[in-house]
Amino acid sequence: MSNTAGIIVFVAALATFIFFLYRYIVVVKKKQMEGKPDSGVEEQEAQIEAEAEEISKVLEEDKTAGEEKPDVKETEKNKEKAVPTVEKDKVETVAAEKTEEVEKAEKVEKEAEEEETEKVEKAETAVKEEKAKEEKKKTPKTLKEGLKKTRNGFISRIGKLFSFKKEIDEDILEELEEVLFTSDIGPQTADKLMDIIKDKLSRKELGSNEAVWKTLREVSFDILDIESKPFAYPEDGPFVILVVGVNGVGKTTTIGKMAMCFKNEGKSVLLAAGDTFRAAAIEQLEIWAKDRVQCEFVSGKEKADPSSVIFDAIKKAKQDNIDIVIVDTAGRLHTKVNLMEELK
């Protein structure tokens, strides 16, 4: 388009130049034919030449302008081409930003799912561990497992005592006496063990740690070697065991172990919560009966009359043909002489 405009300007200027040139020739010929010199001819010729030079300059300027001046329509077309490119770049940028946002959202969602999965797994693990603990509680312990606490406490302390001292003297006897009396074997047993060890030491029968260990084992076996008679179960009605004792000696725990022992022998057992005084005593015995031994259980309200609970338990045992009824009672303070006399 820019070349066409330049050609049109050039043609127009050329036509003007031809017109003035033609005019100049006509005037000159006319004067020659008349033969009369005209003073204005020279001026007219100079004017025509000046106009011709101006026309030539205009033609050159228009030609240069036509070559250098950009085409408006072409520029607009280039702009139109550039606009879609810019819009395309914007669209691509927006799309990239949206893609990045989607990826971030997916990442956050994935982390939340992983966290939730981890919580669920932890909860399931906790439930499994709790169930395993409950199953372990329900499973009867072997004699070795039952004596584990004693072995790790009482026996372990004596073992450490002898491991530091190789010779038996008065000092080690004092420490041994402390271990025995502070262990859960009872003062009478501890006193009996110490009397035998002191007697043998005075006769120089204990010359090493191994000899002391041997003496402790022999005396312990003699103490535990008690002649036990089987229970004489009645032919009609339940066999009732009333458990009494001082506070904190393990009456309720012993009742649970006795109930398990009787059940393993094929006997039906009922536990009666006669201790209505101590807090949580009823709940403790109920756990033994229902969760561990899985036997019958009878209880009354807290602070209720214990005799009424025992009466209801024996009545239920007769109705259901239960073999053994074990009754728990409140602990007695060792400072109450009348209550301690009753235990004799």
Give Cβ neighbours of residue 248 (< 8 Å, ≥ 6 apart): 331
Highest mean predicted confidence (pLDDT) among 89-98, 200-209, 310-319, 328-337: 310-319
**Torsion (CA) 300, 302, 308, 311 in degrees, nearest 10:** 40
Query: Mean pLDDT, the chain, as a whole number?
Result: 76
Q: What is the pLDDT of residue 273?
A: 92
Residue 326, φ and ψ in degrees, nearest 5: -110, 125
Q: Predicted confidence band at 205 (pLDDT cuts at 50, 70, 90)?
A: low
CB 247 within 8 A of CB 331: yes
Topology given in CATH for the domain delimited by 239-343? Rossmann fold (3.40.50)
How distant, in Å, are the alpha carbons of 55, 66, 193, 198 from that of 5?
17, 7, 133, 138
More confident residue, 17 or 310: 310
Domain ranges for the chain, please list them: 2-69, 146-224, 239-343
How much is the average pLDDT of 154-176?
Answer: 71
Topology given in CATH for the domain delimited by 146-224? Four Helix Bundle (Hemerythrin (Met), subunit A) (1.20.120)
Do domains 146-224 and 239-343 share one topology? The answer is no
